[in-house]
Each structure stands twice: as C-alpha cells, then as structure tokens.
Amino acid sequence: MASANAIRIWVEGPLSGVQSVTGIGMLNGAKLAATELNGKGGINGRQIDIVPFDDAADPATGVTALQTQLDEFTHNCNTQRPHASLQNRTPAETYNARTKATPQHNTTGHYRIRDDTVHATGSVTLRRGGRLHHIQLGTALGGTPVRMLIHDLNVIIINRDTGEILRELTINPDKDSQPRGLKPGPKPGNKKGGMPKGYKFKK
C-alpha cells in the first residue's frame, strides 16, 4: 500500500470491454515505469503510486471516473497535504482557524435605495408601510431620472445622472402627498407681482 506521501498518478483507460487489451497495456506500462522509478528511490524520495480507473471506452463512464479523480484530488489537497505557504498546514486547517464574519442585527433603522423618473406632474412615488406616498419635486423636473436614498422616514432625492441633491425630506406617514412646502407664487399672468395688467384705481 502506498504511503500518504506518495505521488499518485491516475491512469484512466478501457480496462474492460472490447478495447480492454489497449487499456490493460497502458496500465501495465505505467506500473512498470513506476516500479523502476521506485526502485531508484522514487522522485525526490517520494514513491510513485499508480491508480487505475476503468472508463470502458464509454464517454459517460469516463466522465464519472474523471469526477471521482477530481473529488479525491480536491479532498487530498485541502485536507491531507500540508502547504509550505500556509506554515505547513492544510488549507482546511487554515480556513477553520480563521475568525468568521457573522451577520449582526441592524439596530440603526431600515435602509434602501429606489430609482425612479420624475412624473410629468413633478412627483415621484415611494411606498412605505403599505402606503404609497407622492413626493413633490416640481414640474420643471419632469422626466428627470432620480435616486432615492431612504432611511426610515428620511429621504434624500438626487439626480441620478449628476448627483445633485434635489430634495431632502422626512416623510409624513399620515399623508399620501408630500408637498414641497413652498409659499404660493404669483398668479399666472402676474409673474412680476404688483397689480394685474389693466387694473384701474378707484377714485
């Protein structure tokens, strides 16, 4: 039986079936070469171990045999063979010795991001607690792509293309519409203020 330090060489071939003569010849040749090398001390003092796998000249069987080899190699590499770069420990030992990151309960509130486009009416929508809120930004911003940075009731709305802050507000959970809180401007046709055009003072 080969030692754990042996160099294992997998020899896959048709060891059964109609092409078994070819496969057995391949295996015997590999064993002969390994015997000669082992008789001379092996490779750097390590013996050669030939491991046969029979694929029966069948592709499906060959895939299964290959996967078996890969699984065994992965197991040996990760759990059996020490690595000089890991202070002569196996990767599994190194991994298990590390402190693992664990999820922590978030006690600072609920954060989320929502992308939207300002409606022609000048508003964007945000659903919270099953209620849809309409946040007013102004009709001048209609069609503007925005990103909402939301922390509980606090919302920052930025222009998604430029990063400009368009509005900061605290949602009123009792109201669907979230107005800008601006004072009413002058009536249409009276943009400069003062008296309407054509007004006559009474004598």
SS (H, E, C) 86-141: HCCECHHHHHHHCCCCCCCCCCCCCEEEEEEECCCCCEEEEEECCEEEEEECCHHH
Categorize the per-residue pLDDT at 157 as very low, low, confident or very high, splitting at 50, 70 and 90: very high
Q: Report if residue 117 sits inside a domain.
A: yes
24 shares a domain with 75: yes
Over pLDDT 70: what percentage of the chain?
A: 86
Confidence check: pLDDT of 159 > 60: yes
Give per-residue pLDDT as tens, 49-87. 998 988 888 989 889 888 988 898 899 889 988 888 998
Strands 177-178 and 131-136: parallel
141 shares a domain with 69: no
123 shares a domain with 162: yes
Read off the tokens for 94.
């190194």
Give per-residue pLDDT as tens, 108-126. 778 899 999 999 999 999 9
Cβ neighbours of 109 (radius 10 Å): 10
The overall pTM is greater than 0.85: no
From the number of C-beta atoms within 10 Å of its C-beta (0-12, 13-18, 19+), residue 41 rates as exposed
Q: Report if residue 103 sits inside a domain.
A: no
71 shares a domain with 116: no
Write the CB contacts of 16 (distance below 8 Å, at least 6 apart in sequence).
23, 54, 56
Which domain, by its residues, includes 27?
A: 7-90
Least confident of 85-89, 139-143, 190-194: 190-194
- Collapsing DSSP states into helix, strand and coil, what is residue 133? strand
Q: Please, where are the H alpha helices in the chain?
A: 20-39, 59-79, 91-97
The domain total for the chain is 2
Confidence check: pLDDT of 5 > 90: no
**To which H or E segment does residue 149 belong?**
strand 145-151
Categorize the per-residue pLDDT at 188 as very low, low, confident or very high, splitting at 50, 70 and 90: low
Q: Report if residue 148 sits inside a domain.
A: yes
What is the model's pLDDT at position 84?
87
Confidence check: pLDDT of 186 > 70: no
Give the residue from 176, 156, 175 showing the smallest Cα distance to 166.
Answer: 156
